[in-house]
Amino acid sequence: MKKNKAFSFHGQDFTRKLLIGKKVTCIEDYSFGDNKFYSVFLKDLNVSLRILEEGWARIQPHSNDSERSPQYQQMVLAYNRASKSGRGVHGSINNAQVHFDDLSAKKEDKQKTAMFLGFLQRAGRVVAVVERVLSGSTYILRIPSENNCRLRFKNEGIWSEPTSIDKEAKVQADTVGNRALEFSKRNLFQRDVEVIVSSVDGRGSFFGRLYNGNKDYAYSLLDEGLARIDLNTAVTMDEFEKYRESEKKAKIVGKNIWEEYDAEAEEKKERGKEREKR
């Protein structure tokens, strides 16, 4: 079981990188009872065939008279080639073992958390994988660097409203928090991103900037009105004024958080504050 689990991680990560963010075509090959079996194609590439070629799957035996994929014989040949060359599951378990320090648990060792903060600060901008999206601006990241770790990460300088459930319908309600969650799932879930970690709070959440496609993701949320500036942290950031401009644009058009924002009333309030200062 341990061997299968170790290889499973690499197989899943290979498939993630191969398919994430791409359109595929599913073609039904056959059915067995209530179950239907499909071939998945990435353009002209049979995904199962590609996974077998890299040694990250085993072939499902079929009897001569049973239904199977039209490309089954090609799959058998790909599996045999991977087996002979020692690829993937056919290779050494020593090359498959991967350990991640899980810092995402709320009761994680504070000393260990502080140690990893130092590692990450010195590393600067590092590659990460978004394993889970907890809210529009909070995620579980896996950082596969020299110091492999998994952590809870929040965008510094902004915050998204919490998600909520419609208890009667038992589904997510149409709230800004839930819209932000779905937006970040579409854009970040299982994607490779880059992060710069700057700090950690007392509950073990790491803060910093997250880059998706070389763009600071905070702008994506602010542009859509799915997050607002956290003045407690953003005011000391170099990006503060740019964040404010991004937020202001969303306010003007009334996006999401700012659907009921009254620019004229807000302007009068600000003028009133200025008069009080004088």
23-37, 88-102, 177-191, 195-209: least confident range: 88-102
| pLDDT tens profile 195-224 | 999 999 988 999 999 999 999 999 999 999
Structure tokens that stand for 129 in this block: 């994988």
| C-alpha span between 232 and 219 (Å, rounded) | 18
64: pLDDT strictly greater than 60? yes
Portions of the chain given CATH number 2.40.50.90: 2-94, 101-272
pTM of the entire structure? 0.84
Evaluate whether 258 touches 264 at the Cβ level (below 8 Å).
no
The whole-number pLDDT of residue 91 equals: 86
**CATH ID of 101-272, from 1.10.150.20, 3.20.20.370, 3.40.50.261, 2.40.50.90:** 2.40.50.90
Evaluate whether 90 touches 10 at the Cβ level (below 8 Å).
no
| C-alpha span between 171 and 178 (Å, rounded) | 11
29-38, 75-84, 238-247: least confident range: 29-38
**CATH ID of 2-94, from 1.10.579.10, 2.40.50.90, 3.40.720.10, 2.40.50.110:** 2.40.50.90
The whole-number pLDDT of residue 154 equals: 97
| pLDDT tens profile 112-162 | 888 999 999 999 999 999 999 999 999 999 998 767 899 999 999 999 999
274: pLDDT strictly greater than 70? no
Exposed/middle/buried for 115, CB within 10 Å: 0-12, 13-18, 19+?
A: middle
> At 1, is the pLDDT very low, low, confident or very high (cuts 50, 70, 90)?
very low
Q: What is the CA radius of gyration of the chain?
A: 24
Evaluate whether 74 touches 49 at the Cβ level (below 8 Å).
yes
Residue with tokens 């709230």: 175
